[in-house]
Structure 1
Amino acid sequence: MADLRRIYSEADEARHQAVLRRVSSAEQALAKRARQRRRAAQARALKRMMIAAAVIVAAAIAWGVVIGPIGQMGFLAAAVALVLSWVAVITVSRVPEVNVEALGQSDLPQLPERTGLWLQSQRAALPPPAVQLVDAIGLKLDTLAPQLATLDPREPAAAEVRKLLADELPDLIQGYTRVPESMRKADRDGLAPDRQLIEALGVVDSELARMSSDLASGDLQKLATQGRYLELKYRDDGTV
């Protein structure tokens, strides 16, 4: 009997390690994409600031040519307008905080990006192996986003994607974070909450890969009708 338990334990550990190996490079790739997005956002903000400055300078010059010298007060007004326009550009360019309620209200093409941002905000509350899986999921969301841009939101397939990203995945993370930290590593019903979370995130990771493959092949019927379940769900007390 002891040998049988040992075999099951070793098999479970091997499956767990296989999942982690599959996503070991995801964090680096996700960090690279995050840097690229930040640089692109900074470039857009800088471009808008330059355009605003050019418009204000052009307006000041036009005033001087058509009406007369702008004078000291006009120069001060132009400087204030320039500062205000730059503040407005920076404010608009800032990435807004995403909460679970916002995910449910997101348009389908925006849902992967917003889900990814929400997941990144949850990283600090997760164990390191789960963080690796969250990073892998983030990469798949980056791949899924352009595919959803052309998907009719009225399609049953769209409802399946929305259910996973806006409901099931947030429920999984929130269920885990409600478990007291002192209980997350303790075995309950044969599996600790930490391990439950890792296994469930592995299911989500695989499911997103399947969804992306189905969308790429145009097989919307398969995406909409294939049975899909998260193997591990959480209640408030962390049990399945």
Structure 2
Amino acid sequence: MSNSKCSICATGIVPAGLARSAPMSCATGDICYLRESLATPVEYILQATEVIRQDPVALQRSKAALRDLRSRSIGKYRPCLLVRNAIPGARPATVFLMGTLRREPIESPSIPKVYREFCRAIYPNSGFLDSAHFHTTPPWPHSSQWLVSYPIPLGDNNLVTVHWRFKDESTPAQVYAMDKASLEALTVHSRKTFKEWQARCNKEPEFARAVETEWRARSAALRPRRRSISDKYLHGSELLCFSPTIATYHSRAK
């Protein structure tokens, strides 16, 4: 929601977070811990875009890219907002992925346009002027966080079971979450954003093709970095430290 429509910004009243000190599963609205690439929601967006769906070559490019991301487990450990829990054998978990976009300004030419269309700020990140942003409880501790406002299903082996925790937080740690009203507002906003995107792409097919072409070029340039990050985690240069008494994590470099 924009600053002018945000009740939290208007009143200055931020709901207090709760410190959860016992093992517990992740619930809808919780910010959880996940290994996934920020490229994944882009491929889902492209595959849902009618102009791309009607182009067999572009559609196959996207499907191949998504298979590559999932089969190689390409991506880093990042926060995600849990929208819906998995039901084993029936449905996967659904999440909104979060990232910092290398802490570069989102207006930077180095940031693919599709991210500028779909990324929304997590307060205290102010985002674009009068643009949509969303709050967590407790407030997110830095101003570089974005959320890709397109929900994605997770792979069968990618389970959301651990709460996000910042390094050096005290124990018991705060569980970062989005309250029910904010999550509902985000869900509505996400649907509206994609509906507007679809309408623009249908009206301007060349816009959709240009975004996909730019994404492929940028994605190819980023691929070696993604694999380097993936290899770092696979070969243990980043240790994951889980507390036996709380479903949270922090990472510690060797």
More contact order relative to length (CA 8 Å, sep ≥ 6): 2
The structure in which a higher percent of residues are strand is 2
TM-score (norm 1): 0.29
Q: Relative to total residues, which structure has the larger helix share, 1 or 2?
A: 1
